Amino acid sequence: MEPLDLRAAAPRGPRTTIAGIVFTARIIDKLRASLPGGELHGYFPFIGFSELWAYYTGIDLHELQAVVARAANEAEVEAWIAERTADVDKTKINGKMERFESSRMSEEMRELFERSYPADLRKTHPVLFDLFDADDARWYSRP
């Protein structure tokens, strides 16, 4: 797949599913932006909520990055993810991720989190998916 430049547009929203799992499209976009020729524009493909996604799916993010790099298209990546998550309770992990609040964040991530998101957004959007959407809208004027 081609690298992405996230200066031009935000990664897809956190609720966008691929292989039946929320946040997957956003992970793929961030991994594409991490490829040579891409631009992350401050997004983190290997830490933060991406780590939680990896934990729930059982997929190593660096292994997925290699799959993204060599895939001809997103359908190949989706098939690879679907095969590795066939036994995952997608409804359960989607619900957990969709409701995850910043108050549950690890202390190790707290400083980076507070530097990355303005206090007003953190206060008005305790659910991380809502915060991600609001922050993307702030940077990219996405409705």
The confidence score (pLDDT) of residue 143 equals 46
134 touches 119 (CB < 8 A): no
Query: What is the rounded average pLDDT for all residues in the chain?
Result: 95
Which residues in the chain land under pLDDT 70?
A: 142-143
68 touches 32 (CB < 8 A): yes
User: Phi and psi at residue 73, in whole multiples of 5°?
Assistant: -160, 175
User: Phi and psi at residue 89, in whole multiples of 5°?
Assistant: -80, 90
99-123 per-position pLDDT tens digit: 999 999 888 889 989 999 999 999 9
pTM for this entry = 0.93
DSSP for residue 88: S
Burial of 44 per CB tally in 10 Å (0-12, 13-18, 19+): middle
